[in-house]
Structure 1
Amino acid sequence: MRLCHIMNDLLEAKDYLSLDHFIKTYEVSKRTIQNDLSYLMQMSSRKGYQLHMRRGRGYLLEVTNRELLNDFIKSLESDRLIDTKDRNKSIAVYLAMQSDYVSMDKVAETFQISKTSVKKEMREVEELLESFHLQLEKKSHYGIRLIGAAHDCKQMLADFFFENNPFLENAMQDILKDFAQVNSLLVNQIEKEDLNINYNELKNVIVWLQITVFYARIHVEKQMFMTSKPVNAIQRIAWKMKEMMEACFDIAISAESLQEMEVVLRLNVRAKQPTVSFSDQLRQDVDLFLMDIDKLYNTAFSEDQDFKESLLTHVSLLIERLHQKISYKNTLIKEICIRYPMIFNIAIRFSDMLKEKYNVEVTHDEAGFIATHFAAHMERERKSRILRFNRIGVVCSSGGGSAYLIKLQIESLFSQADVETFSFLQMDELERYHPDLIFTIMPLDRDFAAPVIYIKELLDDLDLMRIRQVLQYDNCDSLSIADANSYLYSIFDRHFFQIRKSDDYPALLQEMAQQIEESGYGGEHYAQYVMERESYMSTIYMNGVCIPHPIEICANRNLISVCILEEPICYEDKQASIIFMVSLTKEDYEVHKDITKKLYQLMNDEKRLQRVLRNRTLEELLIVMKELDGGTL
């Protein structure tokens, strides 16, 4: 971020700033600062400023176009500059990209940090490299370099690519944009050989091929020529990919790299329609697990035969893969954790059952794949809740055009239902119609056995979305769509809103959870269940938003406890800025999903999130949450 900081220094200065000022401030060499200032002077004419240099005094910035300047500073904030939490991995990537020794000064200049900072972080970089069986070699007057097997280096790069490491993504940009032809050939060859591959398996193969090209560009490999014909489908596909990649990217792929490609293909490509056999014991274990979960969460997983067969097929193949030490990366794991928290908790329990019964260690990524099967069932269950209504009455002020418009809109939600409109004077007719759901724009003068939902006379798309949301709840009687989201905001409580300074994230979570449990909102063992869930996988997500919750739903009353941190806490290479601790009853799974959906929107909207962190009031938080709905308080 050094360029950005230099620009801000120049903007805030009322007089010239000397070269020595920047050297002392950023602890870098004179040459590095001169390079930075030279770059800023080159950019000045088209970025809304002029950078004046006066011998003996230094540098002074003159703003000529504030809008262009703001855009430029914003670009500097994100331009290939690496977060501290990603920097160790990025330094490892940088070292993997070097074909010879590189000096500490060069590393410091590349990452725009001081040489002192590089030396401090190098121990962590060494530990990181060791986890991939790689080493850091140091040589006086030469610098440092990465040594180890090419395969281990590629494995490290592939893992970091799946983690969306920004430094690696930036370095591979030209390869990624030109890889479509290779992708197409791979898919065509798999089909030609009558083999099968799913999306995640395909991504595993493609990423390995991309890393192979990236590595071969840096470390020139000895080209091999065909000495004998490929004898099986995997060898034929690998050879075709080798030829295409060499032609497209002007590289040579060695025999060792070709063998690695074959291994990756063998792990991810399989024969079509495999005969999956699962033992009676596995079926019995899954049935018992689902029945227990149904009792615990008030669900109906054990009654869905399609879901059970799909889950059994997946788990049977999963157990076989895990016994071979093969596991897949899941690029959607973070989103699954955020948007389906209860479902992911179930997947954690399911993974524990597999470990106990079948001696397999299910990774977080694989638990995410298991969660998608459970989520699919919940989506079907949600859809069935809406389809349970067959005779729908709509009460309007008259039977005119507005009534017909509402009828058409309601029919768009209930394609299989019979929808009839009634004026407020036709209550007898409505009663004889025997509706199982009623929409009305006004209070009714009698009670009906059917749920009643209050609506506006003119509905928009947001209203229709809220109707779907309301109907997902088991008890949707006497609800108004105007207040559909009010309940979400009502479970934020001023007594559970705090601004804190802390440097111990687990201790802060324990304290918040204990407060919820002792207040009577969280049930027995609430704090224990929160920490148990956190120990499995951190609930610190994007942009410092944290959503801790218990691994087992045990609340007595619904509550969201909020803590805004005065200074972000760094924990397990993640940064926590605001904590939303969730306490919900078993009956309110849908509310949990709605809340996490809202918080997912918030963490993706950095401007609004910064407003919340800057203003630090419950009122501002609720205003921002309401704005995410497209409305105002």
Structure 2
Amino acid sequence: MSVVELVCVLKKDIPVSMEHLSSVLSVSDRTIRSLIKQINTLKESQGFEVVTIRTKGYQLRVLDEQRFQSYITNTSSTVELSNRQQRISFLLFYLLQQDQFSSLQSISDIIGVSRNTLISDLEELEVVVKQIDLLLVRRSHYGIRLTGSEKAMRKAFSKFVVHSNNYISMTKDYFDFIEKVDLSELKMVLKKTLESNHLTITQVLFDSLMDHLRVLLYRVSIKNYVSTQSTSQPLNVEYVQMASTLVQWIRQRFQLVIPMEEVDYLASQIAGKTSVQWIDECEKEELLQLIDELLLLIDEEFVTKFSLDDQLKEALLMHMYPLISRMTHHMLLNNPLVDEVSSRYANVFLIALRFYELWQKQYDKPFDLSRDEIGYLALHFAGNIERAKQQALHRIKRVLIISDIGRGNLLLLKEKIQDLLPRSIVDFDSMTGIDEINQQDPHLILSTITFDVSLIHAPVIYIKEILDEQDLHQIKDLIILKTYISRNIIKQRVIADLFDSRFFRISDQGGYLELIDSMARRMMDASVASEDFAQLVMERELKFSTIYQHGIAGPHGMILNGLEDKIGVIIPRHSVVYDGKPVSIIFLMALL
């Protein structure tokens, strides 16, 4: 394992636990600690360090951005030849930076694999590039190159080159150019231009505009201009004026020739990211009313309370209005979190999809929304869910721990529960009579002792005498769960109960959709899923694939309509690829 591999895993906004690092990198805790020690010994020269976040894990901290990027560039100059996905990522990274045909022999020499291996990789690459509206062109005696519309090429260049971790030294023209250009002035000009027009945008959108300007500078410097294009709706004059101001400054500062088409394209980028600022009060009220009506429909379908959340309504307004503008100008945002959102918040992803389906019925010409955009929309609904969880925890004002363990262990147990519920008063007691327990009026009882709770007024959660981090997470989930059920005793579900040998299959043939359809029908025949389960699973999968990272798929229906909580497991021994993604294992969920 290399430093770069560790850094790539740690490049997140949240701390990463040791367990996760060991699992992802397939090394021991000791190896990781040794590597972290090595990194921190040279932190001044490398420009970054790894810090420990108490009880949470490790996090990357960049001390000097220039030194950090230089280190990554110099260290990541090779491709792991045994990893086909890395080779394909490199091919995409490499070809996006070539403005002419590249021979198969030259690419084979660069990567260091045989011609036959390269040809096999190109077949998969061809599937991948089709998903991003590009075409892999082959020409005898010339080689291969990528083609596509200017918008598709720019979008792919920004996503797979500008934001790539594959800083390959032999394809660094873009980075060499950017390193020579001081963009701090341009950043200030962009900021002042937005402020002078009374526009405030998130840091994510600001960074996205800067990414576009970086690509613009590089492309016009090599005279690769955007093609003449038209939009289905004229741009607001304010956007064109802002784009003109920025382009004029760039022309003078960098002595570049920039055609008018670039101004229009930049204006459309600004429009798609800031248009909510121009909405008038009447239109705002109409949109808020529409959002309120749609949330009521969502609440009725999914038994939720989204329509009561004013913060969610405002967030949806701030998101949907610019979204309409982006769709009008054929622009889409990339969402690096989409896999995490769709896997962690599967239900919320469905809700976001349903919300958009209801929304687009209001328009004569509905837009096809990408999985990335649905992911952003789902984040707003996920925010509501997380706020509800926090409110459930905050409602627990008094916790009583019942246990007969030693005082030392009991104090440690109390400290851990207090950290979990910082707003609660946590007391402990040995097993006493029912009346004595009720007189203390706890909102929640945590007990290491099994006893008759039929006359206890508060919910009871049975816990272990010694708790680890996983136990604390489970207790937190159970506390949240108790706000939705009426039972006094809350028992932890045994994960094994979700699996059944009847719904386990090792397959030697069949495509992805065929495999999950077959398993869905098997679950229907066994009466653990409703009669329209297979249809709803197919409907969900055809909209957006539920294949996540590392080839793990988690298909489920458009609604959770299981008759029992069961998960079907399919392990294909043959090669299965769907939507450009390999599939290693399938977990088909039929949940109540």
Q: TM-score, normalised by structure 2?
A: 0.70
Counterpart position of 1:79: 80
Highest Rg: 1 or 2? Answer: 1
State the number of aligned residues. Answer: 491
1:201 aligns with 2:205: yes
Alignment check: 8 A CA contact 1:234 1:265 kept: no
1:453 aligns with 2:458: no
Deviations 1:99-136 (A, max 9, x none): 55543433444453427964995898599699868895
Counterpart position of 2:54: none
User: How far is the alpha carbon of 1:378 from its aligned partner?
Assistant: 0.5
**Aligned letter for 1:288?**
E
Alignment check: 8 A CA contact 2:77 2:169 kept: no
User: How far is the alpha carbon of 1:144 from its aligned partner?
Assistant: 6.2
Secondary structure in structure 2 of the residue aligned to 1:357:
coil
Secondary structure in structure 2 of the residue aligned to 1:442:
coil
Alignment check: 8 A CA contact 2:276 2:321 kept: no
Alignment check: 8 A CA contact 2:124 2:580 kept: no
Residue 294 of structure 1: which of 288, 291, 299 is its match?
299
User: How far is the alpha carbon of 1:524 from its aligned partner?
Assistant: 2.8
> Identity across aligned pairs (percent)?
26
Inter-CA distance 345–272: structure 2 relative to 1 (3 Å threshold): closer
1:465 aligns with 2:482: no
Partner Cα distance (2:298, 2:584) in 1:
33
Unaligned runs of 5+ in 1: 1-74, 222-230, 247-251, 586-633
Counterpart position of 2:489: 478
Partner Cα distance (2:579, 2:588) in 1:
19
Partner Cα distance (1:448, 1:416) in 2:
23
Secondary structure in structure 2 of the residue aligned to 1:196:
coil
Partner Cα distance (1:500, 1:149) in 2:
40
Alignment check: 8 A CA contact 1:569 1:575 kept: yes
Inter-CA distance 331–99: structure 2 relative to 1 (3 Å threshold): closer
1:364 aligns with 2:371: yes
**Aligned letter for 2:157?**
L
Counterpart position of 1:539: 546
Counterpart position of 1:224: none
Partner Cα distance (1:369, 1:455) in 2:
37
Partner Cα distance (1:297, 1:462) in 2:
29
**Aligned letter for 1:538?**
S
The CA RMSD over aligned residues, in Å, is 4.3
1:387 aligns with 2:391: no
Alignment check: 8 A CA contact 2:536 2:558 kept: yes
Alignment check: 8 A CA contact 1:98 1:218 kept: no
User: How far is the alpha carbon of 1:430 from its aligned partner?
Assistant: 1.9
**Aligned letter for 2:545?**
S
Residue 327 of structure 2: which of 291, 312, 322 is its match?
322
Counterpart position of 1:3: none
1:569 aligns with 2:576: yes
User: How far is the alpha carbon of 1:347 from its aligned partner?
Assistant: 1.0
1:349 aligns with 2:350: no
Deviations 1:239-281 (A, max 9, x none): 556677x5xxxxx743239647743653356489555544665
Counterpart position of 1:419: 426
Partner Cα distance (2:315, 2:180) in 1:
32
Counterpart position of 1:507: 514
Counterpart position of 1:396: 403
Counterpart position of 2:64: none
Deviations 1:346-401 (A, max 9, x none): 11111211222123313222211111111000111111222232232222328945
Alignment check: 8 A CA contact 2:201 2:274 kept: yes
User: How far is the alpha carbon of 1:543 from its aligned partner?
Assistant: 1.8
Alignment check: 8 A CA contact 2:299 2:305 kept: yes
1:487 aligns with 2:491: no
Deviations 1:416-467 (A, max 9, x none): 3333322213543322122221112212355302111122344444432221
1:99-498 alignment, distance < 5 Å: 100-110=100-110, 112-114=113-115, 118=119, 138=139, 153-158=153-158, 160-161=160-161, 171-172=171-172, 175=175, 184-193=184-193, 194=195, 195-212=199-216, 215=219, 233-238=242-247, 253-256=256-259, 259=263, 262-263=266-267, 266-267=270-271, 270=274, 274-275=278-279, 277=281, 278=283, 282-358=287-363, 359-361=365-367, 362-397=369-404, 400-425=407-432, 427-444=434-451, 447-473=455-481, 474-475=484-485, 477-479=488-490, 484=492, 486-498=493-505
User: How far is the alpha carbon of 1:235 from its aligned partner?
Assistant: 3.8
**Aligned letter for 2:393?**
I
Partner Cα distance (1:582, 1:134) in 2:
35
